[in-house]
Each structure stands twice: as C-alpha cells, then as structure tokens.
Amino acid sequence: MKLSRFFLISFILVTTLAFGQSNDETEIRQLEKHWTELLDKGDTSSLLKIWSKNYAVNNPNGKIVTPKDIVALMETGHRFPTVKRIIEKITFNQDIAIVMGKELQQPENRSTNHEEWIPRRFTNVWIKTNNGWQLAARQSSKVCAE
C-alpha cells in the first residue's frame, strides 16, 4: 500500500513538472498581455516601469527606437494600432526569457475585420531583475507574401 502511494505521488509530481507551466512562464504570459494593454491605453508611466532602462525595439518599419522615442510619439497623440499576439514559444536561459510568435496588427483604417489585419512575427526578450521581469528588447517584422 505504501509503495503504491509512493508511485502515485511520484507520478503526479513528475506529470506536473513535465506538463505544467512554470511560475516564470505564467508570469511572462501575463506580462505579455499586460504591457500590450498598457500600450493600447497609452499608459506611458506604467510602460516605463515594465521596460528596462535600455529597452530597444527593432520595429516593423526597420527603425530602432527607444522608450524616449516611443513616449515622445505617444505624447503627440499617436495611438498604436491594436495588436493580437499569439505566443508560440517561450525559452528560458537563466534570468532571460525569450518569447516568440506571431501577431496581427490592426491596419491604419482601424478595420475590425481580422482578414485585413497585417501579419507579423515577433521576438520579445525579458530580463529578470531585482524589480521583477522587465522587457529588454523587441523585434517585430511584417510577414512577406510568398
């Protein structure tokens, strides 16, 4: 009886570890959603807390921008198009999380028809600091038609 309980408990632990998300992965998934919502709201003060001091973006237009550039643009009234992000892979390497996937960007005409949305690929790099996870780098590219 004791041996069967041991095997049952061992099986449950192994299954949980093998198939469950880690706390870090769950937190990164929540942060990915949260920072996108903050961008949609134009909440620059909260974004600056999530972005690392040296955050840099290689945007879909091929330009490298920093928080200073992004905040200045938002302060002029610029509103970023809505983006639907689909995470396909999160890889952890010590205190670094690399998030990769696809996203759909709402076109400039603000169409809600997802058939018209612009497909892109993205990579976001998060670093675990004393203040928690911070977004350190981002790259996003338009998907070219084949």
Which has the closest alpha carbon to 123: 94, 91, 93?
Answer: 91
* CA angle (139 as vertex; 135, 145 as ends), nearest 5: 150
pTM: predicted TM-score of the whole model, two decimal places: 0.81
Encode pLDDT of 42-54 as tens digits: 999 999 999 999 9
Encode pLDDT of 60-105 as tens digits: 999 999 999 999 999 998 888 889 999 999 999 999 999 999 999 9
How many residues would you count in the chain? 146
Which residues are paired to 97 by β-bridges?
92, 126
Encode pLDDT of 14-44 as tens digits: 444 444 568 999 999 999 999 999 998 999 9
Give the phi and the psi of residue 37 in degrees, each rounded to 5. -65, -40
Please give the pLDDT value at position 22. 84
Q: Residues 71, 86: contact at Cβ < 8 Å?
A: no
pLDDT band at 116 (very low <50, low <70, confident <90, very high): confident
